[in-house]
Amino acid sequence: MPALESRLWALNTPNTTYVVALDPHDGLRGIHWGRSLTAAQADSLRELPGAVRRSVSDGRDAVLDLAPASAFRYGVNGLQVRFADGTRDLELAFTEVVRTDRELTLVFTDGHYGLEVRTTYRTRADTDVIERSTSLVNRGAEPVEVIRADSATWVIPEREDYRLTQLFGEWGAETRINRTSLPYGETHLGSRRGHTSHQANPWAAIDDGTATESHGEVWSTALAWSGTWRLTAERAPTDRVAISVGFGHDPVSVALAPGETLETPVAAGLYATGGFAASAAAWHDYALRYVLPHPEELRPVIYNSWEATEFDISADNQAALAERAAAMGCELFVMDDGWFGSRVHDRAGLGDWHPNPDRFPDGLGPLIKRVHDLGMRFGLWVEPEMVNPDSELYRSRPDWVYHQPHRRRSEMRNQLVLNLARTDVAEWMHGRLDELLAGDEIDFLKWDMNRPFSEAGWPGAEDPDRLWFDHTRNLYRILDRLRADHPNLRIESCASGGGRVDFGILRRTDQVWTSDNTDAVDRLEIQEGFAQVYPAKVMGAWVTDSPNPFTRREVPLDFRFHAAMAGALAVGGDLLKWTEAESRRGAELVADYKRIRGTVQLGRRSPIRAGEIRGAQYGRGDETVVLAWRRSRRLGYRDPLVKLAGLESDARYRDERTGRIHHGAVLATHGLDLDLQPWDYASTMVELVRMP
Ligand code: GLA
């Protein structure tokens, strides 16, 4: 195996180093992604033997950081094109390096066809997350068909074994954790649905099979994109692993015109020691610092009226709910579906974004004023990308939906998807929403998207597959524009629950609707997966009625609240039916949450598992909060003590409720007695404050 040439670059983050180097074929080898190395140590890596144990192609089959489809590369390739004359293989030569303090761009060119490929790495002073993206510039005279342009291919360092962690799910059961030994060959995760999807979240982690919550090395990557995507984890028979991730799905391709540039979204990567909890905490930190638009702002306690009134909305019942919600301490009242057009059920009205004249004869103004007078902000549900065929919009613009000639227009929830890739549709959508927000009385939008694409065609378009990319790009543009023009507006991303949760949408929204399943027990599992990547601050969590409308399970009020307090707490039950005692207890728990929310939303999370107890610990400054839940005890055993993480051994901590003083060393080694009630569905919240 020929040695690596002198062209080697090292990138440093606070606790890690990432090293790439060119091989004699100008292949970009990822040669280190792990603990920090000095420049001399990184430099010495070039003397180590190459990336494959044995090669029959002079190293051209090595795992690469930039993986162009070319000779002897039979595995997954993150970069695939077809030139106008049918040539598919790329022959990329390294041409230039552009390096600034925190950014490295390596430029490669296919000399014959004039295709330039730029791959960029960005680091920051206070996170170990590395952001990568790739751009393709067509400097040739003919269009180039781009079949695959991944944002990044991450080479995982060689280990004895490899395990994949993924977040999988479906509607009402999103972001659940699955850990599985990584098989040989290619394992694809992704979405072909037009949005991020409930089925797979664009994140994955690799460890060597021995990592735990608190120990071990974890490599992970997240894609900041809300359209279709593909992530491939490939374990070669040589036992080398790479993860390639990017937007788009097979078999779509786009034509890159001469002079045109294709920019990929950001794929972020993280190497963490300290196990899955440390990895999750580093992702949260990154999201709070570099993704979310208002990092320090705490999310308000929302009341959402959907489960209470569904489509039976009236100005009176909304006002009555708003009164109860305000009395409970809620800070933002959201009127959900059913306020506009002829939307009195899910069969009509989508697309007609003006208040239903029968329900709101004087417009929304009086209700908004009532809500504001109650001291709450006002939010509204919209689903701008959709249309019911039974609507004024569809009757006047039937050509505005995705469709294909001679194919039916399949409906889901009686609706079709608007072709937001079209400039005129995007302009109309922005205009309608901007008009709705005029006067800045509406403080919050819940932006929903309730069905995936089907028959996704664009008759007459020159390059119809672009719709898969341009839909998402135009969605981002509209969100960005609305935010810029209405700086106090906050937005929740929803897609039938958690179908559009990713760092792309989170760059321009403030929180997400985690799942339509509001059953507190199911939520614990969904929330645990969500928390692998996304911070509690963005995780919308409602307390709803019991029995739960989705699962029919009966769960006590405290348990429901304590489960929802692990995220951005909201109330979504029919408060007009709650007893006085329930309302009073609800108000107490909302007040509890307001005291701890800074720590939950912005603090460091460590999961808790002790016997039958599940929970999470949050730490920020001097404050530690524990939320814990236990469905039932087994065999009459008492609950184990819960060991706390990250406390100072020599410090003492006061329990704000009981006044008891605990020693850090004892909490860490023996644990805290949560003193849960012996009965089923016990739960608690503990606030500990470090004593001066
Ligand atoms: C989706 C959302 C719900 C609700 C309904 C309204 O299912 O996830 O929260 O807004 O739409 O139709």
Name the pairing type of β-strands 185-191 and 229-235: antiparallel
Average pLDDT over all residues of the chain: 96
Site of tokens 């005890």:
633
Considering only CA atoms, which of 151, 122, 120 is closest in space to residue 502?
Answer: 151
φ, ψ for residue 43, nearest 5 deg: -60, -35
> How many Å apart are CA 341 and CA 359, to the nearest integer?
10
Residue 662 sits in which domain range? Answer: 607-690
Summarize the confidence of residues 286-313 as an average pLDDT.
Answer: 97
* Residue 671: CB atoms within 10 Å: 16
Q: What is the DSSP letter of 399?
A: G
Half-sphere exposure of 275 (CA within 13 A, CB side): 11
Indicate which atom in ligand 1 lies nearest the CA of residue 496.
8
Taking the model in full, what pTM does it have?
0.97
Contact status, residue 644 vs residue 662, Cβ threshold 8 Å: no
374 shares its domain with 519: yes
Residue of minimum CA distance from atom 6 in ligand 1: 337
594 shares its domain with 617: no
342 shares its domain with 228: no
Q: How far is the CA of 497 from the centre of ligand 1 (A)?
A: 7
The token pair that represents 566 in the structure block: 């692990």
| 536-595 pLDDT, tens digit each | 999 999 999 999 999 999 999 999 999 999 999 999 999 999 999 999 999 999 999 999
* 340 close to ligand 1 (CB < 6 Angstrom): no
| 620-629 pLDDT, tens digit each | 999 999 999 9
Considering only CA atoms, which of 232, 181, 240, 180 is closest in space to residue 202?
Answer: 232
126 shares its domain with 266: yes
Residue of minimum CA distance from atom 12 in ligand 1: 337
CATH of the domain at 69: 2.70.98.60
Indicate which atom in ligand 1 lies nearest the CA of residue 495.
8
Considering only CA atoms, which of 170, 168, 225, 166 is closest in space to residue 496?
Answer: 170
Using the 3D structure, point to which of 578, 598, 618 is the last residue of a domain: 598
Element (H, E) at 427: helix 423-436
Whole-number Cα distances in Å, 605 to 247, 265, 318, 626: 30, 28, 36, 10
* Residue 156: CB atoms within 10 Å: 25
- Assigned domain for 187 exists: yes
Tell me the pLDDT band of 6, cut-offs 50, 70 and 90. low
| 449-478 pLDDT, tens digit each | 999 999 999 999 999 999 999 999 999 999
* 559 close to ligand 1 (CB < 6 Angstrom): no
State yes or no: pLDDT of 62 exceeds 90: no
* Residue 93: CB atoms within 10 Å: 11
Q: CA 377, 382, 383: angle at the middle one, nearest 5?
A: 155
Q: Say how far residue 184 (Cα) sits from the centre of its chain.
A: 28
The token pair that represents 583 in the structure block: 């309302």
Task: Name the residues annotated as catalytic.
Answer: 448, 516
Contact status, residue 262 vs residue 119, Cβ threshold 8 Å: no
393 shares its domain with 361: yes
- DSSP letters of 444-501? EEEE---S---S---TT-SSGGGHHHHHHHHHHHHHHHHHHHSTT-EEEE-BTTBSS-
Q: What is the DSSP letter of 185?
A: E
Q: What is the 3-state secondary structure (H, E, C) of 520-576?
A: HHHHHHHHHHHCCCCCHHHEEEEECCCCCCCCCCCCCHHHHHHHHCCCEEEECCCCC
Total domains in the fold of the chain: 3
> How many Å apart are CA 417 and CA 449, to the nearest integer?
9
* 496 close to ligand 1 (CB < 6 Angstrom): yes
499 shares its domain with 623: no
Q: How far is the CA of 496 from the centre of ligand 1 (A)?
A: 6
- Assigned domain for 297 exists: no
For a pLDDT cut of 70, what percent of the chain falls above it? 99
* 382 close to ligand 1 (CB < 6 Angstrom): no
Task: Write down the pLDDT at residue 51.
Answer: 57
CATH of the domain at 580: 3.20.20.70
- Assigned domain for 298 exists: no
φ, ψ for residue 435, nearest 5 deg: -65, -45
Task: Write down the pLDDT at residue 58.
Answer: 83
Long-range residue pairs from 179-183, CB within 8 A, at least 24 positions apart, any chain:
181/209, 182/206, 182/233, 182/235, 182/241, 183/235
| 631-658 pLDDT, tens digit each | 999 998 999 999 999 999 999 999 999 9
Contact status, residue 149 vs residue 264, Cβ threshold 8 Å: yes
The token pair that represents 175 in the structure block: 């972001």
Indicate which atom in ligand 1 lies nearest the CA of residue 516.
8
CATH of the domain at 637: 2.60.40.1180
Task: Write down the pLDDT at residue 2.
Answer: 43
Q: What is the DSSP letter of 3?
A: P
338 shares its domain with 442: yes
Residue of minimum CA distance from atom 1 in ligand 1: 496
- Assigned domain for 566 exists: yes
State yes or no: pLDDT of 59 exceeds 90: no
Q: How far is the CA of 526 from the centre of ligand 1 (A)?
A: 18
State yes or no: pLDDT of 1 exceeds 80: no
- Assigned domain for 577 exists: yes
Task: Write down the pLDDT at residue 210.
Answer: 98
Using the 3D structure, point to which of 231, 261, 290 is the last residue of a domain: 290
- Torsion angle in degrees (nearest 10) through CA of 667, 671, 674, 680: 160
* 448 close to ligand 1 (CB < 6 Angstrom): yes
Task: Write down the pLDDT at residue 3.
Answer: 47
Pocket residue to mutate for ligand 1, from 334, 337, 346, 385, most atoms within 8 A of Cβ? 337
554 shares its domain with 661: no
151 shares its domain with 240: yes
618 shares its domain with 659: yes
61 shares its domain with 153: yes
Using the 3D structure, point to which of 553, 570, 598 is the last residue of a domain: 598
Site of tokens 């090292």:
10
Q: Which of 31-45, 57-71, 81-95, 218-232 has the lowest mean pLDDT?
A: 57-71
- Assigned domain for 279 exists: yes
Site of tokens 């301490």:
329
State yes or no: pLDDT of 54 exceeds 80: no
Q: What is the 3-state secondary structure (H, E, C) of 646-660?
A: CCCCCCEEEECCCCC
The token pair that represents 219 in the structure block: 């490599």
* Residue 398: CB atoms within 10 Å: 13
State yes or no: pLDDT of 138 exceeds 70: yes
For a pLDDT cut of 90, what percent of the chain falls above it? 96
Residue of minimum CA distance from atom 8 in ligand 1: 496
φ, ψ for residue 414, nearest 5 deg: 60, 30
- Assigned domain for 299 exists: no
Residue of minimum CA distance from atom 11 in ligand 1: 496
State yes or no: pLDDT of 674 exceeds 60: yes
- Assigned domain for 295 exists: no
Q: How far is the CA of 542 from the centre of ligand 1 (A)?
A: 13
283 shares its domain with 312: no
